[in-house]
Amino acid sequence: MQISSRFTIAVHMIICIEAFKDTHKVTSEFIASSVNVNPVVIRRLLQQLKKAGIVEVKRGSGGADIARPLDEITLLDVYNAVESVDNGVLFHFHENPNQLCPVGRNIHAIMDSRLQEIQTAMEEKMRAMTLSEIMEDANRLLEL
């Protein structure tokens, strides 16, 4: 299992928007040059972040801005905005374990609660980390 790069790209985008908001017009092309992806990828993610109330996007080449204070945006907010998780369930179980096999018949009883516990722990950790903390780290490392 691997979370797609959409999540880390979205965090990169938010840090880029915040870092350059006072010195550059932060357009999808500008962000794409930092992330090193096609601007279409950035525009798609910007729309998802906008829908979640994380960014504001001005029409045309107006650029993007953060919609609310970074200390009110968690990593879980970003993750939920851009990752497509079926029905809120991170782990996808294979559909038809063999019911004639004792392992297959009981695998859900063995694993379901453990997988939920792992997902809950991940979400709690992500909920505890704000973008302001991430930006503080970025500011220490950025040479702007």
What SS3 class is residue 63? strand
pLDDT at residue 68 is higher than 70: yes
CA distance 90 to 35: 26
Contacts of 109 (CB under 8 A, 6+ apart): none
Domains in the chain, ordered, with CATH?
5-141 (1.10.10.10)
pLDDT digits (tens, 9 = 90+) for 96-113: 899 999 999 999 999 999
Name which residue leads in pLDDT, 2 or 115. Answer: 115
